Amino acid sequence: MQVFAPAKINLSLKILGRQVNGFHDLDTLIAPISLYDEIRIDKGRPGNGIEFRCDDPSVPPGNDNLVVRAARAFFETTEIEPAVSIELQKKIPHGAGLGGGSSDAASVILALNELFDAKLSRQALARMAEPIGSDVPFFVFQSAALCKGRGEMVTPIKLKRRFSILLLKPAFAVSTGWAYSRWQDSREIPGVRYEAQEFADQTFVNDLERPVFEKFVFLAQLKMWLLSQPEVGTALMSGSGSTMFAVMRENADANAVANCAKVALDSELWTCECGTIG
Protein backbone atom coordinates (compact mmCIF):
# COMPACT_ATOMS: atom_id res chain seq x y z
CA MET A 1 0.00 0.00 0.00
CA GLN A 2 1.37 3.40 -1.02
CA VAL A 3 0.29 6.41 1.07
CA PHE A 4 1.18 10.09 0.95
CA ALA A 5 1.63 11.98 4.23
CA PRO A 6 0.99 15.74 3.78
CA ALA A 7 2.81 18.56 5.53
CA LYS A 8 0.87 21.31 7.32
CA ILE A 9 0.99 25.01 8.05
CA ASN A 10 -0.56 26.88 10.95
CA LEU A 11 -2.69 29.66 9.51
CA SER A 12 -3.07 30.91 13.07
CA LEU A 13 -1.52 29.79 16.35
CA LYS A 14 -2.57 31.45 19.60
CA ILE A 15 -1.22 30.37 22.99
CA LEU A 16 -3.82 30.82 25.74
CA GLY A 17 -1.71 29.74 28.71
CA ARG A 18 0.21 26.87 30.24
CA GLN A 19 -1.28 23.70 31.68
CA VAL A 20 -0.10 22.15 34.96
CA ASN A 21 1.39 19.23 32.99
CA GLY A 22 3.74 21.60 31.16
CA PHE A 23 1.89 21.64 27.86
CA HIS A 24 0.34 24.85 26.54
CA ASP A 25 -3.32 25.58 25.81
CA LEU A 26 -3.60 26.31 22.11
CA ASP A 27 -6.12 27.72 19.70
CA THR A 28 -4.76 26.98 16.25
CA LEU A 29 -6.07 26.66 12.70
CA ILE A 30 -4.06 24.10 10.75
CA ALA A 31 -4.25 23.29 7.06
CA PRO A 32 -2.66 20.35 5.23
CA ILE A 33 -0.60 21.33 2.19
CA SER A 34 0.49 19.64 -1.05
CA LEU A 35 3.97 18.61 0.10
CA TYR A 36 4.16 14.93 0.97
CA ASP A 37 6.32 12.23 2.50
CA GLU A 38 5.84 8.91 0.71
CA ILE A 39 5.26 5.72 2.70
CA ARG A 40 5.11 2.13 1.47
CA ILE A 41 3.34 -0.25 3.87
CA ASP A 42 3.00 -4.00 3.33
CA LYS A 43 1.93 -6.89 5.50
CA GLY A 44 4.97 -8.80 6.71
CA ARG A 45 5.56 -12.39 7.71
CA PRO A 46 4.10 -13.44 11.08
CA GLY A 47 6.74 -13.15 13.76
CA ASN A 48 8.76 -10.50 11.92
CA GLY A 49 7.23 -7.65 13.91
CA ILE A 50 7.57 -4.06 12.66
CA GLU A 51 10.23 -3.56 10.01
CA PHE A 52 11.08 0.09 9.31
CA ARG A 53 13.36 1.69 6.72
CA CYS A 54 13.90 5.32 5.73
CA ASP A 55 15.94 6.94 2.96
CA ASP A 56 17.01 9.78 5.30
CA PRO A 57 19.80 8.69 7.68
CA SER A 58 19.03 11.60 10.04
CA VAL A 59 15.62 10.10 10.84
CA PRO A 60 15.84 8.21 14.17
CA PRO A 61 15.32 4.43 13.93
CA GLY A 62 13.38 2.08 16.16
CA ASN A 63 11.14 3.24 18.98
CA ASP A 64 12.49 6.80 18.74
CA ASN A 65 10.68 7.19 15.42
CA LEU A 66 7.05 8.35 15.44
CA VAL A 67 6.17 5.93 12.62
CA VAL A 68 7.33 2.95 14.68
CA ARG A 69 5.55 4.28 17.78
CA ALA A 70 2.36 4.69 15.74
CA ALA A 71 2.55 1.15 14.40
CA ARG A 72 3.19 -0.23 17.91
CA ALA A 73 0.20 1.74 19.25
CA PHE A 74 -2.04 0.32 16.52
CA PHE A 75 -1.04 -3.30 17.12
CA GLU A 76 -1.24 -2.96 20.91
CA THR A 77 -4.71 -1.36 20.72
CA THR A 78 -6.13 -3.85 18.23
CA GLU A 79 -4.27 -6.85 19.70
CA ILE A 80 -3.28 -7.85 16.18
CA GLU A 81 0.08 -9.61 15.87
CA PRO A 82 2.65 -7.10 14.56
CA ALA A 83 3.67 -8.09 11.03
CA VAL A 84 4.35 -5.13 8.79
CA SER A 85 7.04 -3.59 6.61
CA ILE A 86 7.18 0.23 6.43
CA GLU A 87 9.41 2.19 4.05
CA LEU A 88 9.52 5.99 4.39
CA GLN A 89 10.77 8.43 1.77
CA LYS A 90 11.23 11.89 3.28
CA LYS A 91 10.33 15.03 1.36
CA ILE A 92 9.22 17.20 4.33
CA PRO A 93 12.23 18.76 6.12
CA HIS A 94 12.91 18.20 9.84
CA GLY A 95 12.58 20.87 12.52
CA ALA A 96 10.56 22.95 10.10
CA GLY A 97 7.19 23.45 11.80
CA LEU A 98 5.57 21.48 8.98
CA GLY A 99 4.54 18.41 11.00
CA GLY A 100 6.29 15.80 8.86
CA GLY A 101 6.87 13.25 11.63
CA SER A 102 3.35 13.65 13.00
CA SER A 103 1.86 13.26 9.53
CA ASP A 104 3.90 10.12 8.91
CA ALA A 105 2.63 8.65 12.20
CA ALA A 106 -1.02 9.47 11.45
CA SER A 107 -0.75 8.16 7.89
CA VAL A 108 0.62 4.85 9.19
CA ILE A 109 -2.25 4.52 11.68
CA LEU A 110 -4.80 5.19 8.91
CA ALA A 111 -3.11 2.75 6.54
CA LEU A 112 -2.82 -0.04 9.10
CA ASN A 113 -6.49 0.38 9.98
CA GLU A 114 -7.32 -0.27 6.32
CA LEU A 115 -4.65 -2.88 5.63
CA PHE A 116 -5.65 -5.07 8.60
CA ASP A 117 -9.38 -4.28 8.26
CA ALA A 118 -9.59 -3.14 11.90
CA LYS A 119 -12.62 -0.91 11.19
CA LEU A 120 -11.72 1.59 13.92
CA SER A 121 -13.52 4.94 13.70
CA ARG A 122 -11.70 8.17 12.97
CA GLN A 123 -12.33 9.25 16.57
CA ALA A 124 -10.84 6.01 17.92
CA LEU A 125 -7.77 6.45 15.72
CA ALA A 126 -7.38 10.03 16.95
CA ARG A 127 -7.46 8.84 20.58
CA MET A 128 -4.82 6.27 19.70
CA ALA A 129 -2.72 9.01 18.09
CA GLU A 130 -2.91 11.48 20.99
CA PRO A 131 -0.03 10.09 23.14
CA ILE A 132 2.28 9.94 20.11
CA GLY A 133 2.38 13.69 19.50
CA SER A 134 0.25 16.83 19.72
CA ASP A 135 -0.21 17.20 15.93
CA VAL A 136 -0.87 13.51 15.19
CA PRO A 137 -4.64 13.59 15.91
CA PHE A 138 -5.00 16.54 13.49
CA PHE A 139 -3.52 14.53 10.63
CA VAL A 140 -5.83 11.57 11.35
CA PHE A 141 -8.82 13.65 10.20
CA GLN A 142 -7.25 14.51 6.79
CA SER A 143 -8.80 17.97 6.79
CA ALA A 144 -8.12 21.54 7.78
CA ALA A 145 -9.12 21.85 11.43
CA LEU A 146 -9.39 24.03 14.49
CA CYS A 147 -7.29 22.42 17.22
CA LYS A 148 -7.46 23.23 20.92
CA GLY A 149 -6.07 21.91 24.20
CA ARG A 150 -2.50 20.91 23.40
CA GLY A 151 -3.70 20.13 19.88
CA GLU A 152 -5.67 16.94 20.58
CA MET A 153 -9.14 18.56 20.44
CA VAL A 154 -9.72 18.56 16.69
CA THR A 155 -12.68 20.11 14.86
CA PRO A 156 -12.41 19.56 11.09
CA ILE A 157 -13.49 22.52 8.96
CA LYS A 158 -13.58 23.44 5.29
CA LEU A 159 -11.44 26.42 4.34
CA LYS A 160 -13.23 29.18 2.47
CA ARG A 161 -10.67 29.04 -0.32
CA ARG A 162 -7.47 27.35 -1.45
CA PHE A 163 -4.30 29.31 -0.73
CA SER A 164 -1.25 29.27 -2.98
CA ILE A 165 1.76 28.90 -0.68
CA LEU A 166 5.51 29.43 -0.93
CA LEU A 167 7.55 27.71 1.80
CA LEU A 168 11.02 29.02 2.68
CA LYS A 169 13.31 27.33 5.20
CA PRO A 170 16.91 28.11 6.14
CA ALA A 171 19.39 25.33 6.87
CA PHE A 172 18.86 25.46 10.64
CA ALA A 173 16.00 23.84 12.58
CA VAL A 174 14.07 25.05 15.63
CA SER A 175 13.22 22.83 18.60
CA THR A 176 9.49 22.89 19.32
CA GLY A 177 10.00 22.30 23.04
CA TRP A 178 12.52 25.12 23.26
CA ALA A 179 10.20 27.57 21.42
CA TYR A 180 7.30 26.91 23.79
CA SER A 181 9.57 27.13 26.85
CA ARG A 182 10.65 30.64 25.82
CA TRP A 183 7.18 31.94 24.93
CA GLN A 184 6.31 33.58 28.25
CA ASP A 185 9.54 35.52 28.78
CA SER A 186 10.29 36.56 25.19
CA ARG A 187 10.21 40.08 23.78
CA GLU A 188 9.39 41.60 20.42
CA ILE A 189 12.09 42.92 18.10
CA PRO A 190 11.40 46.59 17.20
CA GLY A 191 10.28 47.07 13.62
CA VAL A 192 9.03 43.48 13.15
CA ARG A 193 5.32 42.82 12.55
CA TYR A 194 3.82 40.36 15.04
CA GLU A 195 0.19 41.49 15.03
CA ALA A 196 -2.57 39.50 13.33
CA GLN A 197 -2.78 40.00 9.57
CA GLU A 198 -5.97 39.83 7.52
CA PHE A 199 -5.84 38.47 3.98
CA ALA A 200 -8.57 36.92 1.83
CA ASP A 201 -11.03 36.75 4.77
CA GLN A 202 -8.54 34.81 6.87
CA THR A 203 -6.62 35.88 9.99
CA PHE A 204 -2.93 34.97 10.16
CA VAL A 205 -1.05 35.13 13.48
CA ASN A 206 1.56 33.05 15.33
CA ASP A 207 2.38 33.66 19.01
CA LEU A 208 5.58 31.59 18.70
CA GLU A 209 7.16 34.13 16.38
CA ARG A 210 8.13 36.26 19.38
CA PRO A 211 10.41 33.72 21.13
CA VAL A 212 11.75 32.23 17.89
CA PHE A 213 12.55 35.56 16.24
CA GLU A 214 14.34 36.72 19.40
CA LYS A 215 16.97 34.00 18.93
CA PHE A 216 16.75 33.41 15.17
CA VAL A 217 16.72 36.99 13.90
CA PHE A 218 17.10 35.82 10.30
CA LEU A 219 13.53 34.49 10.38
CA ALA A 220 12.25 37.93 11.37
CA GLN A 221 14.21 39.43 8.48
CA LEU A 222 12.80 36.82 6.11
CA LYS A 223 9.24 37.56 7.20
CA MET A 224 9.64 41.30 6.75
CA TRP A 225 11.28 40.81 3.36
CA LEU A 226 8.37 38.64 2.23
CA LEU A 227 5.83 41.21 3.41
CA SER A 228 7.58 43.83 1.28
CA GLN A 229 7.10 41.80 -1.92
CA PRO A 230 4.10 42.89 -4.05
CA GLU A 231 3.34 39.25 -4.98
CA VAL A 232 2.88 38.26 -1.32
CA GLY A 233 -0.47 38.73 0.42
CA THR A 234 0.80 37.79 3.88
CA ALA A 235 3.70 35.92 5.49
CA LEU A 236 3.99 33.96 8.72
CA MET A 237 6.08 31.36 10.51
CA SER A 238 4.51 27.89 10.60
CA GLY A 239 4.31 26.26 14.02
CA SER A 240 7.59 26.71 15.88
CA GLY A 241 9.57 27.21 12.65
CA SER A 242 11.99 27.30 11.06
CA THR A 243 9.78 27.46 7.95
CA MET A 244 8.26 30.75 6.88
CA PHE A 245 5.36 30.64 4.46
CA ALA A 246 4.10 33.30 2.08
CA VAL A 247 0.50 33.34 0.90
CA MET A 248 0.71 34.40 -2.74
CA ARG A 249 -1.62 36.82 -4.44
CA GLU A 250 -3.66 35.61 -7.40
CA ASN A 251 -1.54 34.80 -10.47
CA ALA A 252 1.70 35.66 -8.62
CA ASP A 253 4.90 33.83 -9.60
CA ALA A 254 6.01 32.03 -6.41
CA ASN A 255 9.12 30.64 -8.08
CA ALA A 256 10.29 34.15 -8.97
CA VAL A 257 9.85 35.26 -5.34
CA ALA A 258 11.78 32.21 -4.15
CA ASN A 259 14.68 33.01 -6.48
CA CYS A 260 14.73 36.65 -5.36
CA ALA A 261 14.80 35.54 -1.70
CA LYS A 262 17.83 33.36 -2.39
CA VAL A 263 19.64 36.25 -4.06
CA ALA A 264 18.66 38.85 -1.45
CA LEU A 265 18.89 36.81 1.75
CA ASP A 266 20.32 33.29 1.62
CA SER A 267 21.40 31.28 -1.42
CA GLU A 268 20.94 28.05 0.58
CA LEU A 269 17.25 28.58 1.36
CA TRP A 270 15.08 25.50 0.81
CA THR A 271 11.91 26.55 -1.01
CA CYS A 272 8.77 24.77 -2.14
CA GLU A 273 5.74 26.00 -4.07
CA CYS A 274 2.55 24.26 -2.90
CA GLY A 275 -1.00 24.96 -1.75
CA THR A 276 -3.53 24.16 0.92
CA ILE A 277 -5.57 21.00 0.37
CA GLY A 278 -8.84 19.60 1.67
Domain ranges of the chain: 2-156, 164-275
Rounded mean pLDDT, 115-144: 96
CA distance 48 to 54: 18
CA torsion sign, 88 to 94 to 97 to 102?
Answer: positive
Instruction: Give the number of other Cβ atoms within 10 Å of residue 14's Cβ.
Output: 17
Q: Which CATH number fits domain 2-156: 3.30.230.10, 3.40.190.10, 3.90.1150.150, 3.40.140.10?
A: 3.30.230.10
Kindly list the catalytic residues.
8, 135
Note whether 2-156 and 164-275 share their fold: no
Give backbone dihedrals phi and psi of 96, rounded to 5 degrees, phi first.
-110, -10
CA distance 26 to 147: 7
Can you give the pLDDT at residue 11? 98
Give backbone dihedrals phi and psi of 160, rounded to 5 degrees, phi first.
-65, -30
With a cut of 90, say whether residue 58 has pLDDT above it.
no
**21 confidence band (pLDDT: 50, 70, 90):** low
Which is nearest to 181 in space by CA: 12, 14, 23, 13? 23
User: What is the CATH code for 164-275?
Assistant: 3.30.70.890
Rounded mean pLDDT, 4-13: 98
Calculate the average pLDDT of the chain. 95
Please name the helix (run of DSSP H) or strand (run of DSSP E) that holds residue 224, with its range, or none: helix 217-227
Please name the helix (run of DSSP H) or strand (run of DSSP E) that holds residue 148, with its range, or none: strand 145-149
Give backbone dihedrals phi and psi of 189, rounded to 5 degrees, phi first.
-85, 125
Can you give the pLDDT at residue 187? 94
Can you give the pLDDT at residue 64? 84
